[in-house]
Structure 1
């Protein structure tokens, strides 16, 4: 007797059955193995299931494909996430065409409370890099960043998330036996320690052109919102934004020059009211209701926050001089504020106030 996981994988190998049809069958038969053991009469009674699909189920006979996939995920410690599993991404579950089975390798919970997808062109400008850098360094550390591991904006989003201590997930358009594009192999390896890799495609599936829109729907469906940084009028980013809109998720677009081809897609989304305008990280947090409740602060903490509103970045020496505190007392205060995500520690032992607290 094969395991439930074996039958879950097998269900995805029947050619004519897509995610919507699989979902209909599972609602009727509950378990994948019940679908394979059902009679022709039982299958034909399911609404929307015709003779062609029924015959494919009854005549399917490729166990070697399932055996190979099952062996692969066990060998590489990949977690299969079936659509009926409790740890399947719940936001994605809300989408009618959600993948029936996902393959996941990583360290973080895919059901994080705050998930932001970031998409854009493969040929970004310095402006696009700046927007992502300024945004991600200001986000709370519990925000999960999702993108597609492509070159360009995707790569910048993943790399910047890692640098700023945010977990990040790369959604792939191929199996987990390879990484595409090849230059991102080192990045993907880093992400396994601070996020992970996710795909609906079995091993040996290469990055064919028609797989990318399928990947894009997962990028959109996983998240509370999709931030479009730079994009032309056509391309994967616009497809992702369209999926996000269909799924009733927030779409936020970064405006740019009207003369820049890489901003025209963003401007069109804004012009057609398909996206709101991104202006700064603080407004993004407020729009998504991600601004943390201000914690109860001591007089010393309030004083330090008030002082740090006066300029953007302070060195430790400057703070020691301005506060008149000893190194031990000041270090303790700074640590408290960092743990409360009120300040951010920058390279070179510098400190800055998080944007949300300039107005408090």
Structure 2
């Protein structure tokens, strides 16, 4: 299996991710295989920088987190171009989709249009897979669909959770649906769904989880979704009473009384800013106002892909952690065991 390491780039307040770009033309940057984060991961996820305790951030929310409003279209294209990891194979709105034509030109693809093959939620950092070849895109989509049917994970995320799961690893299963509540689309768990519920959009979802490290009441968790549903991983971790750090949408569903956590009714619990307790704020060296801007600590670290030609070895694309994510691991002492 070949391993390709994504170049680091800052997260974006709207797109909120690292981008990996897949296009046809030779030119692979490989890294040696090494034991590391998750199953057969080829890159050890270690907090970067000094081992000394991080200093307070002052007025700057999070190092390495790009603010979309501070970027021009040209700068966003440059950031995307710099994030190419493997070279093979709405008007006026500044988003990934809106700059795909400029990115295509910048990469020298001419009239070939880039399309998104694989992506996670807009607040999630990590890899986004793009293709300028319809045949390659179709083949990869079929590969992902087949892998899900065979219950073989193709994506590995890492997350920092506020709270520690009761078991070190396992499966999370839940029936989920999307509901429009007070002008916002929210994911709601459905207990004992009926056949009618499934006909009306309820879907069974499944994720694997593995606790990599624990400390300061938090955990570094590896997550592998085996189904695709909006915000699936965030909701699954809430169901474990361990919301993802920086989840300002679903974390409010976890209540606490006398140190004991419990689930609040999802239908009647409105989204609100996640408020870490005082001890966690001190560990993170954050003020309450900075904590209110805490990015979602959910990162698409690895994608497993098939060989692009007959007889070619499978490939793993890897994206390094954002600097704010690494800083959080350092503050919490969450290091790989």
Same-fold call, TM cutoff 0.5: no
Name the structure where strand makes up a greater proportion of residues.
2
Q: TM-score, normalised by structure 2?
A: 0.23
Larger Rg: 1
Q: TM-score, normalised by structure 1?
A: 0.22
Greater RCO, 1 or 2 (C-alpha within 8 Å, sep 6+): 2
Name the structure where helix makes up a greater proportion of residues.
1
